[in-house]
Amino acid sequence: MIVDMLRENFKSCHVGGIVTIGLATLLTASVAFADGKPPLAADTPPAATADSSISATVQFSLSALDRAIERKVPRQLATIDDSGRSCWSRRILGRMVNIDCEYSGSVQRTGPISLHAEEGRLIAAIPLFGSVSGQGIGRFARLLHGTGEGQLTVYATARPQLRRDWSVSLDMTEGFRWQEPPTLQILGFRIDLTRYIEPKIQAQVSRVRRDAAASVAAMNIRGKAEAAWQQAFSTVKILDAPAIWLKTTPRTVAFSGTHARGDILEGAIEMAGTSETFVGQQPSASVPTPLPALGSDVTNPGGFSVILPVTISYDQIREKIQAVMTARAQTGGPQVQDISVYPSSGKLVMGLHLTSADTASGGAWIYLTATPQVDANTQTVQFGDLAVVPDSSTAASSPLAALFNDPALLQDLRQQAGLAFQSEWQTLLASANARLTRPLTGGFRSEGNLASAGLSQVSLLPDGIRIDLRASGHLKILYGM
């Protein structure tokens, strides 16, 4: 009668699966007979919430800005027309003879202006060519003449900054620098071109700053930030079977600088908030809030994190145990009539209804309890500390207890009951990345890339072991190129 009641009360649990990853936990085990059966007590499904950051990026072509600036910066940058300077000095017959000279020439821009980003700065390189002619002043001094020419490069630097009112400024206080000092050799003297060229360059740099600032202002950064902010409130189905939903809710926003990729310049903001994962029905949509004030600049933007759940069916564990016990029965071990796997207050219970040819009774239920040991790196679940502790009230009277004291049998159960879920995890990860990379409205698009994962939590639910993995990577909302 007791055996019939146990059969009625304990059915094998089956779980439709999600994949879960975990770290190592200790596995403790004990054995009990029918009157020591652990009660059914599943964990409450945990809230799958992670702190996350979403990057919203506006992109524009540096080459297009190059061409726009080049059209406004003249080819002839400066002219040189100077006279009355001492250019030649010699001691003749004991007397020092000084000759004054007049100079004429020009500084030309010889190529396109190239832009690139470096450590949050926008740098323009301007190639120049300077040529100067000099001639002595006076009747005989006019016989003294010469020319000088050379290649020059000047670099102008600007640091884009996004103000709290969402306007953009270009900080050009770093000025500009020369690749080499702007000097030419003529008539034995080094002619410093700085005083001829730099005022012209200052004027052009100011023009570039005004034009670049106007170009950025025309992009309507605030309007695009508002649109990106609204679209960051999203609910995305990242897996169909089982249905898994990702819900993102931003709370704060900050400027995270400018970056360059090839000839693409990016201006990025970081939206920090939470990501939540739901299994089953679609959750209610987040209600977008107004765009908040811009926070302090973020020099090291955070990454995007999300909890991805993987569930291992209790049926999978039952099948593993069945295989071990069937092989044992073929060599004279106990027969398994039924196997029940279920949760009990944080422990996993494995109930085996055993019979033996050496006993005349109808058999007995033996219960083992264990805590799953999950390895996120190898993506496996093991039961490494399985041990048999017979219930004191029945251990002495049951021959089946002695059968379970076989160390080889316990070792087989420890090794064979383990499961691998690499395939399920890779399927979930690939599906999440594919669903997060998608077109949005208004010319925006989303790019998601989740890669690394670590264990967040392990729960023993009514239908299986749920392993919550914290997957990390990035989620970008892009506008532009």
Q: Is residue 175 part of a domain?
A: yes
Please name the residues in contact with 149: beta carbons below 8 A apart, sequence gap of 6 or more: 129, 130, 131, 132, 184
Q: Is the pLDDT of residue 93 over 70?
A: yes
The full 3-state SS of 260-311, as one line of letters, equals: EECCEEEEEEEEEEEEEEEECCCCCCCCCCCCCCCECCCCCCCCEEEEEEEE
Q: What percent of the chain has pLDDT over 70?
A: 75
Q: Is the pLDDT of residue 267 over 90?
A: no
Burial class (CB in 10 A: 0-12, 13-18, 19+), 155: middle
Query: Which of the listed ranges 108-112, 184-188, 406-410 does the model predict with the highest average pLDDT?
Result: 108-112
- Determine the distance from the C-alpha atom of residue 183 to the mean position of all C-alpha atoms in its chain, rounded to a whole number: 49
Whether the CA torsion 113, 117, 123, 128 is positive or negative: it is: negative
Q: Is residue 341 part of a domain?
A: no
Count up the domains in the chain and report the number. 1
Distances (CA, A) of 427 to 41, 310, 452, 456, 465: 31, 11, 14, 19, 18
- Confidence label for 13 from pLDDT (cuts 50, 70 and 90): very low
Q: What is the pLDDT of residue 105?
A: 84
Q: Is residue 28 part of a domain?
A: no
Span 242-265, mean pLDDT? 83
Span 454-474, mean pLDDT? 93
For the chain, how long is the longest CA-to-CA vector?
A: 139
Q: What percent of the chain has pLDDT over 90?
A: 27
Span 86-100, mean pLDDT? 73
Q: What is the pLDDT of residue 332?
A: 77
Instruction: Decide: 150 and 184 in contact? Cβ < 8 Å.
Output: yes
Q: What is the pLDDT of residue 288?
A: 93
Tokens (6 digits) for 436: 């997060």
Q: Is residue 235 part of a domain?
A: no
**Within 13 A of 51's CA, how many CA atoms are on the CB side?**
5
Q: Is residue 210 part of a domain?
A: yes
Q: What is the pLDDT of residue 336?
A: 87
Per-residue pLDDT tens over the stretch 270-295:
899 999 999 999 999 889 999 988 88
Q: Is the pLDDT of residue 111 over 60?
A: yes
Q: What is the pLDDT of residue 167?
A: 74
- Which residue type does 411 have? Q
Helix (H) or strand (E) holding 461, with range, is strand 444-461
Q: What is the CATH number of the domain that holds 205?
A: 3.15.10
Span 350-378, mean pLDDT? 80
- The three-class DSSP label of residue 140 is coil
Span 216-245, mean pLDDT? 88
Which of the pair, 241 or 120, is modelled with greater confidence?
Answer: 241
**DSSP 3-state helix, strand, coil percentages of the chain (rounded to 5)?**
20, 45, 30
Instruction: Decide: 450 and 429 in contact? Cβ < 8 Å.
Output: yes
Q: What is the pLDDT of residue 184?
A: 63
Tokens (6 digits) for 256: 């995270």
Which position has the token pair 């399920």? Answer: 424
Span 153-170, mean pLDDT? 75
| Backbone dihedral angles phi then psi of residue 308, each to the nearest 5 degrees | -110, 120
Residue 71 belongs to domain spanning: 60-218
Q: Is residue 299 part of a domain?
A: no
Span 398-414, mean pLDDT? 72
Q: What is the pLDDT of residue 466?
A: 94
Which of the pair, 14 or 438, is modelled with greater confidence?
Answer: 438
| Alpha-carbon span 477 to 430, nearest angstrom | 19
Burial class (CB in 10 A: 0-12, 13-18, 19+), 219: middle
Tokens (6 digits) for 14: 């089956």
Q: Is the pLDDT of residue 109 over 90?
A: no
Mean pLDDT of the chain: 78
Which of the pair, 421 or 409, is modelled with greater confidence?
Answer: 421
Q: Is residue 107 part of a domain?
A: yes
- What's the pTM value of the predicted model, to 2 decimals? 0.69
Among the listed residues 408, 410, 366, the one whose alpha carbon sits nearest the alpha carbon of residue 384: 410
Among the listed residues 409, 414, 443, 223, the one whose alpha carbon sits nearest the alpha carbon of residue 334: 409
Distances (CA, A) of 133 to 44, 78, 80, 293, 480: 88, 15, 9, 59, 49
Span 252-256, mean pLDDT? 87
Span 5-22, mean pLDDT? 35
| Alpha-carbon span 369 to 351, nearest angstrom | 9
Q: Is the pLDDT of residue 390 over 80?
A: no
Instruction: Decide: 102 and 187 in contact? Cβ < 8 Å.
Output: no
- Confidence label for 374 from pLDDT (cuts 50, 70 and 90): very high
Span 301-326, mean pLDDT? 90
Between CA 207 and CA 219, with CA 213 as vertex, the angle to 5 degrees is 140
Which of the pair, 176 or 379, is modelled with greater confidence?
Answer: 379
Per-residue pLDDT tens over the stretch 37-82:
888 999 998 888 888 888 888 776 777 666 767 777 788 877 888 7
Q: Is residue 380 part of a domain?
A: no
Distances (CA, A) of 360 to 86, 355, 366: 126, 9, 17
